Amino acid sequence: MIIIHGVYRSRASRNIWLLEEMERPWRLERVIQGYRLPDPAAPDAPRNTMSTDFIALTPQGAVPVMEDGDLFLSESLAINLSLARTFGGKLGPRDAIEDALLQQWALYGATAVEPSALLLMYAHMEGKAGTPEGRAEMADLAAKLHRPLAVIEAQVARDGHMVGGRFTVADINMAEIVRYAASDVDLMSRYPHLRAWLDGMHARPAFQRMWTKRNAEPL
Ligand SMILES: N[C@@H](CCC(=O)N[C@@H](CS)C(=O)NCC(=O)O)C(=O)O
């Protein structure tokens, strides 16, 4: 059985959503982010990204990690691409061209969108919009996102999805990254096709199952 090491409140959400879409048996091995704990090395601390046995599994010391037999794979997007290729049917690539496009969009999301989108989400959560300096920082992050979000807007306006004109792992990967940017309502309102596509993704029963459990997980 596939094991996901991590917690719902982490990038493991991407993998859990895909596993739910595939209706494949899996289980969660709970590993929390070390930085969320007062003392990750305390004897009674839960297993976390700084625990020695976890670092032995994955020197990167980050969740998620997928365990599938002898394979221990880190990097949430690589995990999803691997799962979709192996078990995903139509959620994965039909041919080498689609395989290349799935990888292209995963890397584009990770490099062009995720860094600024994550910082923007944290800025919203920290209430930075309440100070002029915070607003300037957030405007700068939004400015960095305009070009890539316009690229994705054009893609979903044209094809309805990221790859192959159908729902695939590329939609899951990109939707989970764009979700961070969606914390900025004004920014997203500039991209109506992207907004509608993301709403459609979030309406999927498999996403909802993941999201309900994520929200039930302690902060
Ligand atoms: N690029 C990696 C990032 C992994 C990552 O940073 N995970 C965070 C949680 S979402 C983490 O485990 N942080 C723990 C730490 O930095 O100690 C991926 O997509 O899997």
| Cα angle: 217, vertex 110, 78; to 5 degrees | 75
123 and 55 in a common domain: no
Determine the Cα–Cα distance for residues 59 and 93; give it in Å rounded to an integer: 30
Type and span of the H or E element at 74:
strand 71-74
pLDDT score for 164: 97
137 and 78 in a common domain: no
- Give the neighbor-by-neighbor strand order of the sheet with 71-74: 26-30, 2-6, 65-68, 71-74
**Residue 211 counted as domain residue:** no
Q: Whose CA is nearest to atom 1 of ligand 1?
A: 75
- pTM score over 0.85: yes
Determine the Cα–Cα distance for residues 90 and 167; give it in Å rounded to an integer: 8
pLDDT score for 134: 95
Q: Is 62 in the pocket of ligand 1 (CB under 6 A)?
A: yes
**Residue 184 counted as domain residue:** yes
CATH for 28: 3.40.30.10
66 and 112 in a common domain: no
pLDDT score for 189: 96
Q: Whose CA is nearest to atom 6 of ligand 1?
A: 62
Determine the Cα–Cα distance for residues 219 and 189; give it in Å rounded to an integer: 29
Residue 200 belongs to domain spanning: 93-204
Determine the Cα–Cα distance for residues 24 and 40; give it in Å rounded to an integer: 32
- Report the separation in Å between the CA atom of 176 and the middle of ligand 1, taken as the mean of its atom positions: 14
For residues 19 and 26, is the Cβ–Cβ distance under 8 A? yes
60 and 18 in a common domain: yes
CATH for 186: 1.20.1050.10
- Report the separation in Å between the CA atom of 64 and the middle of ligand 1, taken as the mean of its atom positions: 7
Domains contained in the chain, number: 2
pLDDT score for 219: 86
Question: Which residue among 59, 90, 121 closes a domain?
Answer: 90
161 and 128 in a common domain: yes
Q: Residues in the chain with pLDDT < 50?
A: none
Q: Whose CA is nearest to atom 9 of ligand 1?
A: 10
Q: Whose CA is nearest to atom 12 of ligand 1?
A: 62
pLDDT score for 89: 96
**Residue 218 counted as domain residue:** no
